[in-house]
Structures are given as structure tokens and as C-alpha cells.
Amino acid sequence: MFDESFVRAARLQEFSAQERIADHAPAVRRRRPLRRGLSRQALVLVLLIAVAFGTAIYMGVRHPYQTPAAREPVEPLRMTVIPLAPEGKVPGTADPAYLYEHSPAAQFRTGAEGVPLPASRRTAHFSDSQVVSALSTAKDYIVRSALDPEVLTGGEVRAVRVLLDPDQLDQFDQSFARPTADGRHAPTGWLVRFDPSRAELADRKVRVQGTLQAAETDASTLEVTADHTFVYALRAAGDGDKNEVSLFTLRRELHFRFDRDDLRLHQAQLVVSYVQAGPLSCAEDSTNHLRPLLAGQTAKEGGPAGTDPYATGGATALCGSLATSAQPKV
């Protein structure tokens, strides 16, 4: 409430319409203009989407398992089997243990114990577990193809076949369906087997000594080299314990190759098989089965089958001599 004196003393002034427009703020408050561009939250969201998209592309390019379409072609197995002919009669006795003790194989281990896994370490592009997987698969192939009695006696092949890369199965099957001494299709290049009509195992405990080595060949390939000597105690088939026992020695170098699919599936690409074995006769065909010379036998006269230098696609016939020092002292 204002008293009358206050009202009378107050100075009154009425602004004109022009004055009210020019000197006073408008009755309606103006809104601030909108900022052009993205808000901070929208900018962060776009950045996160871009990072996620880039990561997905990077992981797709660097995916550790290549698709089958990206795999390099698998090489066919190249194999060489060289028979070693003895210089005289093959020594023998009734006791296999005696032969082993008086041979260079006296200190060899028995069976799979003679194929130990070496100390392994990771490579530039493969982990410890992948290197161990390659070595273990190579060992399994060696044990099944050269130590399994069912394989050695000429019957079982599936146990070896299942360890091969699928791209090599056609070559493997053709080798057993149509054995050919062409350096590509000899069963004795894939595995060790004796002619069951000629020889049998006198002792299932095969003596073995050798090495395994793994190395990275490129960013997508591991290679394992196996070099082992196997010594088998054999006797003539059919007469049981009546026949004398002799030793058969086989030196075998295998080169395995593994890509990431092979490591994952526990299979191998066998690319090189180099075999020297005796006592064998150079005149005998060692393509399908090994036909060993047994106790008291000598090599037949004549060398290996002739080689035609004009023919294409064939392998050179090879033969060697089995040193006397490689035979047991009886």
C-alpha cells in the first residue's frame, strides 16, 4: 500500500510507442539459434561405430584359419626306394635278442619310444601348441606306417591313410590300386610292408633311432623333417620258430608339411619319402612290397630293372650295396 503523499511525489512518464519499441526488450524472448553440425554424443557414437567396423575388417583379414579356397595346392608325394644288396650271405640265428645285441642297433629304443618328440618352441607365426601338434602328427604317421604289425605284414593301410591331407588321398589310393615304380605311386613310399608270402615278424618289438625337427617355412606353413633307422627281426613265413632269424634295416627320411587346417584336423601333407632298405635283391621289385633276403640267403645276380632315358614320366632305377658293418656279427 502506498500513501497519498508518495503517489503525488512520484514522477510519472509514459513512453511513446516508438520509445517502447526502441528502448525496451520485446515481450517475447527469442530462442537461441541451433548449432550446426553433430552434437558431442553423436560424434562419439559415430567414432565408436567406425572403430568397430575397422576392427572387424582387420580380424577378417588376419583370421588364423584360411578358407579352403585360399589354400595353396598340396604337392604330390615324391618318393625314392633304394634296395641295398648284401655282399654275401645274410647272417642269422635263432635268437632275435642275440642279433640285436651284436648289431649297430644294440642301443636303439623299442617301438614308439624310439620316436621321441624334441623340445619345441614357438615360431614367428605359430604357437607352441601348433608346433607340438605338427610334431605329434608326424610321430603318429611314423609309428603307424613303420611300426604297426598290421601294416608291416601287408594288410592294414587305413590307419595310415586317415592321417593324410585329403588332397593326397587320390594319390595314396592309386598307389595301392595300381602300384607303379614312377616315383609317385609305390606303396613302399607311403609305408613299410613286407611280402607276407615271404617273411614274417620274428619280434614285434622293432628297434628305432632317429630325429624329428620342426621349422617354419613361411607365415602359413610348418615343415617337419623325420630321419629314422628301423631294424626288424624277420624269419621265413610259414614254418614258425623253426627258421633262423635275420635283421632287416631300413633308413627312412620323411618331409611333412602342415598348414593351419592340417594342424587343426591332425593330418599331414607328406611331400618327400626317401628310403634305403636291405638286405634286398636289386633284381626284385620293391614297389608294392619289400621282399627281404633272409638268414642264409644271397642276392640274386643282376642289377635293378633297366631305365629308359627316352621314356618320360618314369623314375630312375636305383640300387645300393649293404655294408658288412651294417649286419650283425654272428
Confidence of residue 71 (pLDDT cuts 50, 70, 90): low
Q: What does 297-321 look like in DSSP terms, one character per residue?
A: --PPSS-SPP--TT-SS------EE
Residue with cell 624269419: 235
- Tell the burial category of 246 from Cβ atoms under 10 Å away from its Cβ (0-12, 13-18, 19+): buried
Task: List CB contacts of 251: < 8 A, sequence separation 6 or more.
Answer: 227, 228, 229, 230, 275, 276, 277
Which residue type is seen at 280?
L
Collapsing DSSP to helix, strand or coil, 79 comes out as strand
Give yes or no for a contact between 122 and 131, defined as CB atoms under 8 angstroms apart.
Answer: yes
CA distance 56 to 209: 49
Q: What is the DSSP string of 189-245?
A: HHS--B-TTTEEEEEEEEEEEEEEEEEEEETTEEEEEEEEEEEEEEEETTSGGGSPB
CA dist 173 and 115 (Å) reads: 27
329 vs 294, higher pLDDT: 294
- What pLDDT, in 10s, does the model give residues 241-254? 778 999 999 999 99
pLDDT band at 238, cuts 50/70/90?
Answer: confident
Report the alpha-carbon distance of residue 94 to residue 103 in Å, rounded: 15
Asked whether the beta carbons of 83 and 281 are under 8 A apart, the reply is yes
For residue 45 the three cell numbers come to: 557414437
Q: How confident is the model at residue 66 (pLDDT cuts 50, 70, 90)?
A: very low
Rounded to whole angstroms, the Cα distance separating 301 from 282 reads 8
Asked if 224 and 213 touch (Cβ cutoff 8 Å), the reply is yes
pLDDT at residue 198, rounded to an integer = 93
What is the helix (H) or strand (E) element at residue 253, kind and residue range?
strand 246-258
Express each pLDDT in 131-177 by its tens digit.
999 999 999 999 999 999 999 998 899 999 999 999 999 999 999 99
More confident residue, 53 or 102: 102
Q: Beta strands 78-86 and 269-278: pairing type?
A: parallel
